[in-house]
Amino acid sequence: NAGVTQTPKFRVLKTGQSMTLLCAQDMNHEYMYWYRQDPGMGLRLIHYSVGEGTTAKGEVPDGYNVSRLKKQNFLLGLESAAPSQTSVYFCASSLEGGITEAFFGQGTRLTVV
């Protein structure tokens, strides 16, 4: 099993450009999450999904959009990238939301110049 796979691993964007980060999981998990991690800080939740076709906002949703058209995929979009969105992005999935362990991808390092 691959677990949670994030694509791409690295990306450099110019301010104002758009891009989509892809997260794929092969564990048939219902819940999926997008986090960002800035230097010296813990992870902060951007958006999450409790099932196919559903999404919800987390702590820091502004400037991002998400979609969960298929159960195994969770996409994070930046419509107009800003330097403040320079960060490492982590996707995670879990079988249930409340008490089950979450599995994380290896991260996407995004730089906006």
40 near another protein (CB under 8 A) = yes
Class of residue 33 by CB neighbours under 10 A (exposed 0-12, middle 13-18, buried 19+):
buried
Q: In the complex with another protein, which residue's Cβ is closer, 21 or 92?
A: 92
Among 7-15, 17-25, 71-79, 84-92, the segment contacting another protein (CB under 8 A): 84-92
Q: For residue 110, give Cα distances in angstroms to 6, 14, 83, 91.
A: 12, 11, 10, 14
Among 8-16, 50-58, 63-71, 72-80, the segment contacting another protein (CB under 8 A): 50-58
Q: Identify the residue whose tokens are 């992870």.
A: 43
45 φ/ψ sector (left φ>0, alpha ψ -120 to 50, else beta): beta
62 near another protein (CB under 8 A) = no
Among 15-23, 56-64, 69-77, 79-87, the segment contacting another protein (CB under 8 A): 56-64
For residue 83, say if its preceding peptide bond is cis, omega within 30 degrees of 0: no
Kind of pairing between the strands at 108-112 and 87-94: antiparallel
Q: Which residue of 19, 45, 60, 95 would you call a contact of another protein, by CB under 8 A?
A: 45
Residues found near another protein in the complex (CB under 8 A):
4, 31, 33, 40-45, 48, 50, 56, 58-59, 88, 90, 92, 97-99, 101-107, 109
